[in-house]
Structure 1
Amino acid sequence: MKDRYNFLFRRTLLTATVLSAVLQTSWALSPDKKAGKMTRNVVRQLDYTVTGKVISSEKEALPGVSIVEKGTNKGTTTDIDGAFSINLVNPGTTLIFSFIGYVTKEVVVDGATNLDIVLESDAKGLDEVVVVGYSAKKARYLSSSVSTISSQKLRDVTSNELPNLLQGKAPGVVVSTNSGDPTSPARIVIRGSGTISANSSPLYVVDGNIDGSYNPVDVENVTVLKDVAATGLYGSRAANGVIIVNTKMGKAGKTEINFNNTFGWAQATTGNFRLMNAQELFDFQSTFNPRDPSVLKTNTNWWDQAFRTGFVNNHNVSVSGGSDKTTFYVSGNYYKEQGTVIENDKTGYNLRTNLRSQLTNRLTAAVLFNAQYTRDNYQNSNTLYDAYTNLPFDPAYENGAPTDGRSYPNWLGRDRENFLHSIQYNFARAKSLRTSLDVNLDYDLTDKITISSYNRANFGNGSGATYYDRRTKQGGANGGELYNNNSNNYRLLTSNRIRYSEDFGKHSLTVLGVAEAETSFIEFNTVSGKGLPAGQDVLSVATDILVSPTSYNEQVAFRKFLGQADYNYDNRYFLVGSLVNEFSSLFGKNNSTANFFQLGASWVLTNEGFLKNNKVLSFAKLRLSHGTVGNAAIPNFASLGLYTISQSASYAGVPGAQPFQKGNPDLTWEKIRASNVGFDISLWNRIDLAVDLYNKKSEDLLYQKPLTATTGYSYVWVNAGSVRNRGVEFSLTSNNLTGKQLTWETNFNMAFNRNKILELSGGAATFRPGNRLPLAAGHDMGEFNMPVWAGVNPENGDPQWEKIVKDANGNVTKELTNSYSSVQTAQSRQFTGKSANPKFTGGLTNTLGYKGFTLSAFFNFVYGNWVYNESRAYFDNDGLYESYNQMILAKGWSRWQKEGDVATHPKPIVGGNKDSNQSSTRYLEDGSYIRLRNVRLGYTIPVDAVRRIGFARANIFVSADNLWTGTKFTGPDPEASFSFEDTPGNSSIKYPISRKLLLGVNFTL
């Protein structure tokens, strides 16, 4: 069979060659051709052959290099020894040599019959081209603080959410994965939280345009912009940093088909947390309220009932290629991850098409399209909550069917619910579709002036449904409940740019002008019903409305003008300055526009005569930047006085309007003023080090201020003070071994940040008094404020707290008390000096290569943050909740049993021991951890072997995520949110993160 295919292939190739020769001969014999040229053309087309070899700059043969005759579809590839042979149409033609991981090279043949080609590795590190603002520069010439992560560095963790892939990869970029739920997003904070109530998430820029959808598999690289000189160019939405996502584009040459397939298994991690089994709980409760021993007939492990081994699938196929004029990249992706909690999963489909074409010598166009469809099934019916709280004395099944806690005669658990019964009927699910279409044009008006128009249209649709069947506890009271919601959003963006570049000897100047406009539309509605027949999850059969239907429509507009000048003298001295004027409909009519500026400078010391060609110091650069940027990340209409129209304000059956939000026409932009000093060095062309020091001050903080009920409003948006973040960042890359067979690379980064509230508006001492994380001048935004736990009284086993007492002369003393109510005062609630914000974070990756094998290990770490372990109030409560399961005491803990005992836990008493489980520093724990985030072993199959089975390249790998975590934290997982969009530093009934084992194969045709 193989011989038959080879025969057919050779015959087809011969036929194509002869046909090509005949057609070319016909063209040469056309009447307007001279006879002499006619014969010469035929001979050249049939006989002219070029041979040669392609090697790397390390003088290693490169197999599989694509070689294309420019302007034609004629091409070939190199063999295992890097050798090639190609028949040419024209001996004066140009050959294009391209290979993944190497710079594409064009070579004019000019009559040569043998060519030796050297391909240089794609620019890395200091020579890498980085997109900053609206320009692309080599990293060595930047004045800004940026971090770039290649697609290769992103692939070591399996997720379809980019933030999860960035964790620990860039200094100053803190990612918190607060849940193992695959439908739950991770949070990113860059260089500390600098806002109170406004959104603290960074801005995403995809392929040159703000926002946009993408799949991590299609990402070529990610650049994180951190200082104002870079982020400010994108305007107010970039106040919290910018993450630039560049997706893959096709390359000229042979069409390639790539298959990437990953599958594996996921299990929940439990950390240092363990729940009691029936015997352990029985023994514990017997010390203060003995149960009937008959309860030991049942020993249900509710955790095992709620959790499972999840399955992970990630399959991607892409086709890319093109000519020297037009390139294309088409990719399709399927991703499914089962959560480790039953009935919880995420499914995603993604389609991307990137097309770029040089339409004329001056005009280049790109059309980029992405469609992303997701379907989520949320864990419902209190599954996670019951897994923690249900008693092991209660049975999960009876006669092969899940028990119903409501009707089971001897159910002992407090909530009388068996989630296994509820999930048979209830569900919570959502689906969404996001599409983005880009049309980008670049036109070289002259050799020095380029005008560009980048345009994007985004469309999104989402819907969700939550159903509680009347046969379950959640739906029983109302005879079944159903909640439906639907949303549509549209976003139109146009960004028009003009760029002028000029060289004057050693001087270079680039001037940029940008005009952008964006409009967003949002539609949202919800409707619900009750009284549904069993199993009927449609509203048309509901007997009544559960909650009044709600709907709203919103429209938001942004506009921006930018001017920038970028000066370079002899690649030694660099200056850049920009001015930004912005308009936003989010702010009051008195402050809808604002102006901001950015300045940057850098000095490349190694381009000076006294350091040139230094054998040790390969590169050295000093960077400085300073500037301002606004923050507009607040809800739509935050500055306006709003009314709601509903039946709740009806009169005589007619819906009425009532005040909903107090307006503030003077609401203005939150302003960030930041400075950065950075230093980049490279030693022996092997060790790259970057150090940055920054100071970032946020003023006119946007704050949702609570109002008293007598005002008729709940809150009003105001500008309310200032906060400062200061820090130091380190990034180190070391090529420890660079041999032909053995390589070893180390990547390390670490960042320190200190946060401080400088002032609050109106001279207020504290915002949010009584909160665990109040806001007070002179303190960290994440500093805990609560009664201080003073341990256990060894005489009687009572809990103790510190009580602050002030005498008539103002002298302050501390007393020990067993009365929690006496420390629930502003005086006794103390700032602890312990913050939810970490002192430092970082990551470490080591990558070893030997022949075709690659082994990498990636650690990330967080140190100095504190986490309030709220779940202990339920599972470590000294007898308060007998109807809840309890946790096994952590190593080093003990309970008081008799007089004189020095213990960590009070005497357990029925109903609890004097409110010992109430909020205090008792449950405040060190959240520091180091985690082996990923280990990956891959093998690249030799080219000669894969070609025998019809492939150009092939790689197989095994990978493991979250193998080990070192921490003192006693909950399932120490990782808590650092973002004020959540509750930072809090761990309650937590969905633990997953440990994954994955297998994968990547191959190219």
Structure 2
Amino acid sequence: MLNGLYVNDNYNSAGTVYQAYLNLPYDPAYNADGTPVDARFGTWYGRDRSNFLHSLQYNYSKARSYRTTADLNLDYNILDNLTLSTYNRADIYNYRSSSYYDKRTKDGAVNNGSAYLGNSFSSTLLSSNRLKYNVNFGQHNLSVLAVGEIEKGYSDANSSSAKGLPAGRDAFSTATDIINNPTGGYDNYQFIKYLAQADYSFADKYFAVASVVNEYSSRFGSNNPDATFYQLGASWIITKEKFMEPLKAITFLKLRASYGTTGNADGIGYYASMGLYNINSSASYAGLPGAAPSQMANPNLTWEKSKSVNLGLDITIFKRIDISLDAYEKKNSSLLFFRELPATTGYSGVYENVGVIRNRGLELNITLKNIVKKDFTWETNFNIALNRNKVLEVNQGRSEVYAGATQPIGVGHNMDEWFMPVWAGVDPADGKPLWQNAISDADGNSYVLYTNTYNLASRVYTGKSAAPKFTGGLSNTFTYKSFTLSTFLNFVYGNYVYNTSRFYFDNDGLYESYNQMQLAKGWSRWEKPGDIVTHPKPVFGRSDASNQSSTRYLEDGSYLRLRNVTLGYNIPSTFAKKLYLQNARIFISGDNLYTLTKFSGTDPEVDLASGDSSIKYPTSRKFMFGINVSF
């Protein structure tokens, strides 16, 4: 099988979203003659003196890419019960990006017109070869699988830049100089896996599986490039036992349990275990190329390991209610982290296997066949998942992985917990900002005081995490004759998002030449002594750090979103056949139609790992009309 995909992208190269947030509303976007204003000249109150509408006339940022995937799969029956299979895939990807900044624009004026060009290529070759043996004897069934797999990857990239281009001329041949020396490099990696697995069942109601796998990665150190992992699992269909026959309401009941270990090699570079040097212009001497150390070697770097246990239950009641419940505990050890080193070592850092993190969670899925009639059906699906993580250990006697960070990953804490000064509101007497200052006396007693000085505020674990308390979704599907209506809601609850954007547009007067947000419902600004408010007195060009990192901008990121509504109609087969069609369906759908949230930003949906919401374009509301036909 051969597949190809060509993509031609045009990106925003003028800071459109950034300026939409921060430009002042009374700066005119257009001149009297309808042409975009060049904000560098004339009256423009916004601090950045930039109008993206002017830049968009001349500048661009675009890319084109082509991906080809080829699969060759072969199965051969050596014997009646013995099969040899080989699955092979090649994935080849080419990417080219280019940007141009005309000398007539603010972005291009610095270099008298500039252009950037980047090219990259990558290929991944995978071959998985499997030998499978099946045997049945009586009520026993045994399947044995042996796998040998290899994956090889290669990539290269180069980039160049030029300046001094005539207006409207983006070709590198028209440039008079370069901005930086051209860059380039190439990488490769290799994974090898050997697996043996046995599946056994008896009477089609008792099931067991066991596997062992050895994995090798070129990313790890010479002392430990491979590791061995195993998995064990069992299940029991209880409803096939005779003692369940009187319980007519329960039409299906199954218990599941598993325990095993797995490995992870993601999140690190191809050469994470090696001592690396940077060879670039900053290390050159007397016009000759030079090299400077950048990464310390760690020949003991090895796989991140995970041990997990899972208990599960599947049950069907009255053939109308399907419930699936899973409980799990997972411990990740030897986590892969890059530890920064003091400059005196001569290295920026070293990759290490660090600490232990525990995850515990529950997952519930319920499907209800509410109504099942000849012409009308209604089915509901509800799912919810919760996970709690805790850092159990960090190596080398440390209590944190990233000391001083807003999420330092500290022992005894949720790894996504926020660590920062606690905002204490506004001093009613004078409208100044307040933070908590935790102190201890000579007897070891702890007190919380309040301070107007940001540098005296205590940085503490806040008890608030970027990880949600639970997530889930609710879908409903209605069918009436040839019509189908489906709705899907998803929700996230209990996570805290750091609204970085407010640093710029909710700053109490520090950036007076930036656009300012309208106070959200329930917020208020200090005006006179005695006011109990959420926001300090505005001060032109203030210097008390009221907008610096603290829980002030930490907001509840919970939301409920109507993700999709689709209405479809299946054209009757008799009519479709007259059009020489087997099937035909007309539909209209809407995505992201409504969001319920307390979050003050444009969109509460963020990367739950980082929990940060910076200046971003919100999730778009989309409507689509379509026709599906088959011949």
- TM-score after normalising by structure 1: 0.62
Q: Out of 833, 837, 840, which is 2:467 matched to?
A: 837
Match of 1:10 in 2: none
Match of 2:512 in 1: 882
Alignment of 1:144-163 (within 5 A): none
Pairwise CA distance, 1:952 = 2.4
Contact between 2:148 and 2:193, CA under 8 Å: does it hold in 1? Answer: yes
Contact between 1:799 and 1:913, CA under 8 Å: does it hold in 2? Answer: no
Q: Distance in 2 between matches of 1:539 and 1:759?
A: 54
**Bigger Rg, which one:** 1
2:414 aligned with 1:784: no
2:433 aligned with 1:799: yes
Give the counterpart letter for 2:566 in structure 1.
Answer: R
2:401 aligned with 1:771: no
Match of 1:509 in 2: 142
Q: Structure 2 regions of 5+ residues with no counterpart? A: none
Pairwise CA distance, 1:913 = 6.5
Greater strand share, structure number: 2
Give the counterpart letter for 2:481 in structure 1.
Answer: K
Give the counterpart letter for 1:522 in structure 2.
Answer: S
Q: Distance in 2 between matches of 1:648 and 1:538?
A: 28
Give the counterpart letter for 1:551 in structure 2.
Answer: G
2:478 aligned with 1:848: yes
Give SS of 2:244's match: coil
Higher relative contact order (CA 8 A, sep 6+): 1
Q: Structure 1 regions of 5+ residues with no counterpart? A: 1-367
Alignment of 1:814-829 (within 5 A): 814-823=448-457, 828-829=458-459
Contact between 2:294 and 2:349, CA under 8 Å: does it hold in 1? Answer: no
Alignment of 1:288-367 (within 5 A): none
Q: Deviations over 1:702-739 (max 9, x none)?
A: 10001111122211101111111110000111111111
Pairwise CA distance, 1:613 = 7.9
Match of 2:558 in 1: 928
Match of 2:354 in 1: 720
Match of 2:270 in 1: 636
Contact between 1:667 and 1:718, CA under 8 Å: does it hold in 2? Answer: yes
Match of 1:254 in 2: none
Pairwise CA distance, 1:628 = 0.5
Match of 1:604 in 2: 237
2:216 aligned with 1:590: no
2:383 aligned with 1:749: yes
2:306 aligned with 1:711: no
Match of 1:1000 in 2: 626
Give SS of 1:402's match: coil
Match of 1:533 in 2: 166
Q: Distance in 2 between matches of 1:609 and 1:917?
A: 69
Q: Distance in 2 between matches of 1:718 and 1:619?
A: 48
Contact between 1:879 and 1:913, CA under 8 Å: does it hold in 2? Answer: no
Q: Out of 430, 455, 459, which is 2:92 matched to?
A: 459
Contact between 1:662 and 1:713, CA under 8 Å: does it hold in 2? Answer: yes
Q: Distance in 2 between matches of 1:930 and 1:785?
A: 27
Q: Out of 176, 179, 190, which is 1:557 matched to?
A: 190
Q: Deviations over 1:317-369 (max 9, x none)?
A: xxxxxxxxxxxxxxxxxxxxxxxxxxxxxxxxxxxxxxxxxxxxxxxxxxx22
Contact between 2:130 and 2:146, CA under 8 Å: does it hold in 1? Answer: yes
Q: Deviations over 1:361-413 (max 9, x none)?
A: xxxxxxx2211111222222111111111111211000211001111x21111
Pairwise CA distance, 1:645 = 2.6
Q: Distance in 1 between matches of 2:528 and 2:293?
A: 60
Q: Distance in 1 between matches of 2:84 and 2:246?
A: 39
Match of 2:283 in 1: 649
Match of 2:615 in 1: 989
Match of 1:376 in 2: 9
Q: Distance in 2 between matches of 1:611 and 1:587?
A: 52
Give SS of 1:761's match: coil
Pairwise CA distance, 1:448 = 0.6
Give the counterpart letter for 1:933 in structure 2.
Answer: R
Greater helix share, structure number: 1
Q: Distance in 2 between matches of 1:774 and 1:723?
A: 13
Please report the RMSD computed on the Cα atoms of aligned residues, expressed in angstroms. 1.3
Contact between 2:477 and 2:487, CA under 8 Å: does it hold in 1? Answer: yes
Q: Distance in 2 between matches of 1:647 and 1:794?
A: 56
Pairwise CA distance, 1:947 = 2.5
Q: Out of 371, 394, 398, which is 1:737 matched to?
A: 371
2:209 aligned with 1:576: yes
Q: Deviations over 1:469-494 (max 9, x none)?
A: 21111221111221211111111111
Q: Out of 871, 891, 897, which is 2:521 matched to?
A: 891
Q: Out of 76, 81, 90, which is 1:443 matched to?
A: 76
Give the counterpart letter for 2:470 in structure 1.
Answer: F
Give the counterpart letter for 2:115 in structure 1.
Answer: L
Pairwise CA distance, 1:559 = 0.7
Pairwise CA distance, 1:686 = 1.9
Q: Deviations over 1:659-704 (max 9, x none)?
A: 2322111111110111100000111222111000000110011100
Contact between 1:895 and 1:903, CA under 8 Å: does it hold in 2? Answer: yes
Contact between 2:94 and 2:122, CA under 8 Å: does it hold in 1? Answer: yes
Q: Distance in 2 between matches of 1:657 and 1:868?
A: 39
Contact between 2:417 and 2:464, CA under 8 Å: does it hold in 1? Answer: yes
Match of 1:401 in 2: 35
Give SS of 1:912's match: coil
Match of 2:199 in 1: 566
Contact between 1:866 and 1:985, CA under 8 Å: does it hold in 2? Answer: yes
Contact between 2:379 and 2:477, CA under 8 Å: does it hold in 1? Answer: yes
Pairwise CA distance, 1:946 = 2.4
